[in-house]
Structure 1
Amino acid sequence: MDIDLVDQDFYWRNGAPYDQLGWLRANTPVYLHDGDAERGWPGFWAITKHADVVHVSRRSDLFSSSRKLALFNEVPEEQRELQRLMMLNQDPPEHTRRRSLVNRGFTPRMMGALEQRIRDLCNQLVDEAKGLPSVDFVRDIAAPLPLYVICELLGAPVEDRDKIFKWSNEMIGAEDPDYAADPAEGTNAAMEVYAYANALAAERRQRPREDIVTKLIMPDAAGETLTEEEFDMFVLLLVVAGNETTRNAASGGMLALFENPEQWQRLVDEPALARTAADEIVRWVSPVNLFRRTATTDTVIGGQEIKEDDKVVVFYSSANRDEDVFANPESFDIGRDPNPHIGFGGGGAHFCLGNHLAKLELRVLFEVLAERLPNLAQAGPARRLRSNFINGIKDLPVTLT
């Protein structure tokens, strides 16, 4: 079988290359993938089995997020220095210090307090959609929800959601013709997010509030605090990770329900299934397709020798359909329980900080949709994002009745 797991045009047309990933799991689960000299990509090890992805994720000492960063593309060293201020691109112990500071804004109590607000927002989005001449599920429901929640967390005006949406699209969609004409637009969007973060922090120092910004700019019990650059990078990560993952899980989940109408009917008949449906949606969609690590020493994965500085890429889309872990992995089952998916990462230092919030948003959204829009139907083809990093959907036309 011809293997190309990073062809963005394939993802654009078809979604993740599940046939190739399935073949690799069965035949060469730790696979030396060809590079692309024209684009500056070296060859890399593609990790496709659930157990191996978990192993790489949990061993930051062997597989670094910092040495050459966590995203797939190669970045010059002078740019890496700035990117290492972001938790995504750090290893313990620096990552541990930063995460302990940021955790103050994501306590279970704070997340629980958001549930009613999220339910109100979901009902508001349904009410607004009912008044539109045509409805796109991404634009009108899936995208606004996490943006509203980000504004809620930051204590930012809700009218800022449109520019946050634009910045996120330009940073993540740099390879998609609808979002960015050239990579410079993504860089400019990041600069605008930094400036926005600085303005928020300055305002909260003058007028503290009960929000995540105030918590993060104040010293903790030990007197530790985030530097200005660290805070800017946190806001950047929140704008992208807190928006893209939930938006694309919701959109991909709705598409899966349209393609499996018996599952939609189950949810309509029993909206409480939204609790397990949220996890199954994350497993099925795998909003983040891959992350990169760099081997810090000679080691072994799945019996395959890996050399120091080798590029190692974990594929969550593959791990979440591993036949050794999931019964009938190619079936979308909203009642699947247990569901040991790794759509929020394979554990370890980089397990998704906002996983409880993302599942809360998905659960409440699909409860509201099942209760209020039982006849929701697809009205046109879904259009996918041109990206091998995010399994994204840009458009999903729907009818509400």
Structure 2
Amino acid sequence: MQIDLVDRDVYATTGPPHEQLAWLRANSPVHWHEGEPGFWAVTRYDDVVHVSRHSDRYSSYRKLALFDEMSQDQIDLQRLMMLNQDPPEHTRRRSLVNRGFTPRTIGALEQHIRDICDDLLDKCTGEVDFVTEVAAPLPLYVICELLGAPVADRDKIFTWSNRMIGSQDPDYSPSPEEGSAAAMEVYAYANQLAERRRSHPKDDIVTKLLQPDEHGETLDENEFDLFVLLLVVAGNETTRNAASGGMLALFEHPDQWSRLAADPTLARTAADEIVRWVSPVNLFRRTSTADQVLGGQEIKADDKVVVFYASANRDTAVFPDAETFDIGRDPNPHIGFGGGGAHFCLGNHLAKLELRVLFEQLARRRPNLRQTGPARRLRSNFINGIKELPVTFG
């Protein structure tokens, strides 16, 4: 079989190349993929988890966690972001940021999220785009709440996120430079937020992160700006694309939509199955720190190693009937939020809460929702995104 796991045009047309990924899991689970540079494609669940949980062997810091190659200047800057760090520096940074994502803090948002969902659904009549009217605004409202930012800023955040993540999609950004410019605008915005909170503290994540922890440590200016950047992208894109991809999956599996409409409490397990099925983040890159063996293959020091979550989440060795979309699947040990270890998604509880509440309210209030046109996918091999999903609310 001809293998090409990075062709963005394929992702824009059909989504992840699941046929290729299934062949690799069965025949070449740690596969040398040609490219500039070439890389090891890791496709089985257990191997993805192994790489994820051994930051000492598979580094996010050496060449960053993103797939594309970057200049040394870009690498030096991006290394300040948690996403691109290894322990112990990552551990220190994450312990500071964790203060804003405790179960108590996230749990307190449930009614607020339910109110947001109800408000969005109240405004939807007739034919609309599910992405722009429901899936995208929900996490943007929540991000504004977390940051203590005016809700009016959500459109700016939406545009910045599109320009950074969609730099290879002509609908969002005409050049990679636009993505860099958007990042600089986010840095400036973060500085303004910090300045306001230092003079006017509030009960929000920004205030918490600007205050010293129990050891007297705080995030410096660069660290704070890069955290806001990470929140704007990760806190927006994953939930947004899981929500839109999940809605598309329910349309493509009408028996499951009928099942959810008949029992909205299934939204709890449906949220996890949606993340497994969609895998909003398709891949991350690591760099081997030493000569080692993975899946029977000899990996050399400094080799590029890429883990494919979209593949691991369809591994039949872990998920019975993995190609079946089952909103009642339980247990569901998907790794849509990462394979564990240092970089397990900080906001996973928040994302699952948003998805659970959204699909519960959709099932309760809009059981006759239906698709009225083809979905348009993001041209990206990193984010499994939906740009447009026409629906009618009746």
TM-score by length of 2: 1.00
Contact preservation (8 Å) 2:54, 2:341? yes
Q: CA deviation at 1:304?
A: 1.0
Distance in 1 of aligned mates of 2:105 and 2:335: 24
3-state SS of the aligned residue for 1:305? strand
Alignment of 1:243-282 (within 5 A): 243-282=236-275
Alignment of 1:13-24 (within 5 A): 13-24=13-24
3-state SS of the aligned residue for 1:184? helix
Identity of aligned residues (%): 75
Residue 75 of structure 1: aligned partner = 70
Residue 54 in structure 1 maps to residue 49 in structure 2: yes
| 2:152 pairs with one of 154, 159, 163 | 159
Residue 25 in structure 1 maps to residue 18 in structure 2: no
Q: CA deviation at 1:78?
A: 1.5
Q: CA deviation at 1:83?
A: 0.2
3-state SS of the aligned residue for 2:281? coil
Number of matched pairs: 394
Contact preservation (8 Å) 2:127, 2:393? no
Alignment of 1:301-316 (within 5 A): 301-316=294-309
Distance in 2 of aligned mates of 1:134 and 1:317: 31
> What letter matches 1:19 in structure 2?
E
CA displacement, residues 96-145 of structure 1 (integer Å, 9 cap, x when unaligned): 00000000000100000000000000000000112xx5310000000000
Residue 38 of structure 1: aligned partner = none
Q: CA deviation at 1:153?
A: 0.1
| 1:380 pairs with one of 354, 357, 373 | 373
> What letter matches 1:306 in structure 2?
I
CA displacement, residues 198-252 of structure 1 (integer Å, 9 cap, x when unaligned): 0000000000000000000111111000000000000000000000000000000
Residue 210 in structure 1 maps to residue 203 in structure 2: yes
CA displacement, residues 33-71 of structure 1 (integer Å, 9 cap, x when unaligned): 001xxxxx3000000000000000000000000000000
Distance in 2 of aligned mates of 1:152 and 1:232: 17
Residue 96 in structure 1 maps to residue 74 in structure 2: no
Residue 295 of structure 1: aligned partner = 288
Distance in 2 of aligned mates of 1:175 and 1:81: 22
Q: CA deviation at 1:258?
A: 0.2
Q: RMSD of aligned C-alpha atoms?
A: 0.5
Residue 346 of structure 2: aligned partner = 353
3-state SS of the aligned residue for 1:79? helix
Q: Which runs of 4+ in 1 moved over 6 A?
A: none
Distance in 2 of aligned mates of 1:104 and 1:13: 40
Q: 1:134 to 1:399 in 2, by over 3 A?
A: closer
Residue 234 of structure 1: aligned partner = 227
Alignment of 1:331-342 (within 5 A): 331-342=324-335
| 2:101 pairs with one of 101, 106, 111 | 106
> What letter matches 1:125 in structure 2?
L
Alignment of 1:362-377 (within 5 A): 362-377=355-370
TM-score by length of 1: 0.98
Distance in 2 of aligned mates of 1:78 and 1:120: 44
Distance in 2 of aligned mates of 1:51 and 1:113: 35
> What letter matches 2:24 in structure 1?
L
Residue 136 in structure 1 maps to residue 119 in structure 2: no
Residue 336 of structure 2: aligned partner = 343
Q: CA deviation at 1:298?
A: 0.6
> What letter matches 1:161 in structure 2?
R
Contact preservation (8 Å) 2:41, 2:308? yes
Gaps of 5+ in 1: 36-40
Q: CA deviation at 1:79?
A: 1.2
Distance in 1 of aligned mates of 2:321 and 2:392: 31
> What letter matches 1:345 in structure 2?
G
Distance in 2 of aligned mates of 1:129 and 1:100: 40
Distance in 1 of aligned mates of 2:12 and 2:68: 18
3-state SS of the aligned residue for 1:314? strand
| 1:221 pairs with one of 196, 211, 214 | 214
Distance in 1 of aligned mates of 2:296 and 2:381: 27
Q: CA deviation at 1:6?
A: 0.1
Q: CA deviation at 1:77?
A: 1.3
